[in-house]
Amino acid sequence: MSQQAETLDIERIRADFPILEREFDGTQLVYLDNAATTQTPEPVVETITEYYRKYNANVHRGIHQLSQEASIAYEEAHDRVAEFIGAAGREEIVFTKNTTESVNLVAYAWGLNELGPGDEVVLTEMEHHASLVTWQQIAKRTGATCKYIPITDEGRLDMEAAEELITDDTEMVSVVHVSNTLGTINPVSELAAIAHDHDSYVFVDAAQSVPNRPVDVAEIDADFLAFSGHKMAGPTGIGVLYGKEHILEGMEPYLYGGEMILKVTFEDSKWNELPWKYEAGTPVICQGIALAKACDYLDEIGMENIEQHESELAEYAYDRLTAEGDVEVYGPPGDDRGGLVAFNLESVHAHDLSSILNDSAVAIRAGDHCTQPLHDVLGTAASARASFYIYNTKAEIDKLIEAVDDARQLFA
């Protein structure tokens, strides 16, 4: 283990997550479903409680003290998230419900107005449904065409194919940063450079990267980037859309109503300044404030440390699982992947495996992980997935392996 990872005090971190102490029939929970939702630490829970106990009020609409306090905290939350991902300022940070809504915002606000017959949207075979389905349906409405960068046998993007697929007809390249099924870490900066050479925009789905590794939107040169709070020690119901200011300024709103307006007459309306232009109605006030606290919490641990810890867990799990012989693991080698491992045990359906593991208090995900087309490419209907976060340990992975062994015996 590297010196950098050794600086993490996992037991101290675990103390911030009392849910990890839960037991089922006398067996302590092993929570390995973090790619779906991470657990929430006490400082974030306390922030939520403090909001509702002390200054619960709507923002930007009241002169009274509670509204002023809520408005300041909510606006500063945008500043904090901007800092966390290297954005220029709050103008580039729109709060949404989740990554899915962030993708839809751009697809509707930009895609419906800018795409047409002859235009192309380039995605990858490993895209989450949030991206794939959204652009697929927008293309159907506009007459545009979707093309898909294939994956190699090792589960990486075929970059030679990418250079051929991204052309002057490409208007948008939408790519997942870290695959939620394969664990593949995609070269998003390289893809952005290729796309920009063809005057195309780039949308990065960072739902599986912002929570567990340093992400700098300026360094990537992403035009848009999205992620969710509930995958990074934050609350549910909060997502983030980053967009370059000049692009967001030129787009039309996705939702209309209160908050997003500056001036309304019976004949027309003028939109509010960024980012409020895209946050119609009462926004996700408490969730946004709590997400800012989650950013503080993760930065105190250190994003480089989190990345290193997850990488070591992923490599350890990959090695343990592949050594089983009758387990197929999907994606790149263990020393070059994000903090998750999707796999199948021979002759045991992923759903059955997940159920048996649940009997041992080991929580994993089973299914297609919202990547049905990718599973078609892999030649399997479903897979089991163990995913890790800052509070997981190698001992928990050992318990996963023991539970897999129990399942093997049961189906022998």
Q: Is 286 a catalytic residue?
A: no
Query: Phi/psi of residue 185, each to 5°?
Result: -100, 110
How far apart, in whole angstroms, are the C-alpha atoms of residue 194 and residue 197?
A: 5
Report the candidate in 84, 78, 138, 81 with the shortest Cα–Cα distance to residue 114: 138
Place of tokens 């994956």: 151
Query: Phi/psi of residue 353, each to 5°?
Result: -60, -45
Please, what sign has the CA dihedral across residues 30, 33, 38, 39? negative
Cα-based torsion angle of the residue sequence 163, 167, 173, 178 in order, rounded to the nearest 10 degrees = 0
How far apart, in whole angstroms, are the C-alpha atoms of residue 44 and residue 234?
A: 7
Provide the 8-state DSSP code for 315.
Answer: H
Whether 131 contacts 174, CB under 8 Å: yes
Burial of 388 (0-12, 13-18, 19+ CB in 10 A): buried
Query: Phi/psi of residue 53, each to 5°?
Result: -85, -25
146, 286, 295, 370: the active-site residue: 370
Q: For the chain, how far is it from start to end, CA to CA, in angstroms?
A: 36
Tokens coding 201: 């925009």
What pairing do the DSSP bridges indicate for beta strands 239-243 and 93-96? antiparallel
Residues recognised as catalytic: 370
